[in-house]
Amino acid sequence: MVRYFLLGVSSQHIASLTDVERRRVLRALRHLRQRMATDVPPVFSGVVEVDETYVGGHWRNRRAYRKGSPRGRGTILKTPVFGILCRGGRVWAEVVPDIRRATLQTLIRRRVQRGATVCSDACWSYTGIATKGYVHRLVQHGQGQFSDRRGSHINGLEGFWGYLKRRLAAKGGIRRERLPLYLAEYVWRYNQRRQSLSSQHRRLMRLLAPCHKTSG
């Protein structure tokens, strides 16, 4: 079942291939995603990128945009997601209730080691990061800037957002309450994207091993 899951086989097809009831397959896949959520670095250091995005909703709902929403991106139907990426490609992301300064900076302090260089865009949510023990480098997207001479950019994280949204779109829509688990899956897959299928399979089985030992 794990190998089929890694190959992107649908739950219905997995049930057919394994002769396991689909309800049990769905329960097993939920457990796999829960274990994937634990396989991320607890703290990032060095040079990191931070950014927020919105997922869900459709452009046909564009009239539902709230007036005065942050940079015109928040919608009633979309869900905010915040992410941190360490140069080298490892990423962490989480569904957040909002993109207020207190919300995002609390996560940065929890997930990024003091003294690290934090690259962000000019969103007001990141104002004051330099006073919290970090080196803060801004990228002025509004002025057409996407990188500077010091290598400050958030291109890596924006690449992940593109990957995430393509994968979610391929699912044809996911209920909001299930989004955190699918987000955990795609974070894990993105972090393991350079590994072979067999390496990914071994890693995932190691994540499952403690659970088997406990239940056994």
CA-to-CA distance for 15 and 22, rounded, in angstroms? 5
pLDDT tens sequence across 145-156: 444 555 566 889
Cα dihedral 92→32→97→108 (10° resolution): -20
Instruction: Report the pLDDT value the prediction gives residue 166, as an integer from 0 to 100.
Output: 94
Instruction: Report the pLDDT value the prediction gives residue 128, as an integer from 0 to 100.
Output: 94
Cα dihedral 204→188→174→73 (10° resolution): 170
Residue type, 185: E
Instruction: Report the pLDDT value the prediction gives residue 216, as an integer from 0 to 100.
Output: 35
Cβ proximity of 37 and 184 under 8 Å: yes
- 47: number of Cβ within 10 Å: 18
Instruction: Report the pLDDT value the prediction gives residue 65, as an integer from 0 to 100.
Output: 39
**DSSP E strands, 126-204:** 135-139
Instruction: Report the pLDDT value the prediction gives residue 172, as an integer from 0 to 100.
Output: 79
Residues 6+ positions from 46 with CB-CB distance below 8 Å: 86, 87, 116, 117
CATH class of segment(s) 47-173: alpha beta
Instruction: Report the pLDDT value the prediction gives residue 151, as an integer from 0 to 100.
Output: 53
Which residues of the chain fall below pLDDT 70? 57-76, 140-153, 210-216
CA-to-CA distance for 168 and 154, rounded, in angstroms? 21
- The domain ranges of the chain are 2-36+195-215, 47-173
CA-to-CA distance for 143 and 12, rounded, in angstroms? 48
Instruction: Report the pLDDT value the prediction gives residue 112, as an integer from 0 to 100.
Output: 96
Tokens of 53: 């995005």
Instruction: Report the pLDDT value the prediction gives residue 86, as an integer from 0 to 100.
Output: 92
